[in-house]
Structure 1
């Protein structure tokens, strides 16, 4: 788990460096962008480890600590579990659960 987070953080930092630190999303600071990228990566990593949540079916986006979940779940238990996982990641201030149960 720590290796996954470290790798993701390194990739996020590299992406910011390559783009010349140009952050246009709501004029957010580079530090805030990196924090949001780290949160997104951690949520996705926890989805991948969870036996209930399909990491491939749920999209995760983070802006200023607010995590938005979208995509499709097999049932309400998967939808609820995804929101719980996201809410328990450090740095998350709120979760918007737009996952549709199919």
Structure 2
């Protein structure tokens, strides 16, 4: 009888653990604080790119998720792709940059 009780207890404990693990958050969502931080980073990167006179900022899009900045859009010269990436990396708080800018 004691063995059966131990087995039932173990099964119950395992079910509880799996239920709690199933409720854990995913990394595809961000909290309010992270969202605000990302919005601030996006604004800082856009402002830095805007202040670079050689880049056409109206054709460069900036998005940020958990500190990773994604650049997309079009530029006139291949060197502008590198320049935009360098500017974004230079902004304080940027963890990494994914540069998807293309030459028009």
Q: TM-score range by the shorter chain?
A: 0.7 to 0.9
Structure 2: any 5+ residue segments left out of the alignment?
1-27
- Does the CA contact (< 8 Å) of 1:52 and 1:81 recur in 2? no
Alignment: residue pair count: 78
Task: Look up the SS of the partner of 1:28 in the other structure.
Answer: coil
In 1, Cα distance between equivalents of 2:55 and 2:86:
11
TM-score by length of 1: 0.72
TM-score by length of 2: 0.71
Choose the corresponding residue for 1:46, options 12, 23, 48.
48
Flag the structure with larger Rg.
Answer: 2
- Does the CA contact (< 8 Å) of 1:67 and 1:86 recur in 2? yes
Q: Which runs of 4+ in 1 moved over 2 A?
A: none
Map 1:7-18 to 2 at 5 A: none
Structure 1: any 5+ residue segments left out of the alignment?
1-25
Choose the corresponding residue for 2:100, options 93, 98, 101.
98
Alpha carbon RMSD of aligned pairs, Å?
1.3
The alpha-carbon deviation at position 91 of structure 1 amounts to 0.9
Match of 1:21 in 2: none
In 1, Cα distance between equivalents of 2:29 and 2:85:
27
In 1, Cα distance between equivalents of 2:29 and 2:59:
29
Match of 1:57 in 2: 59
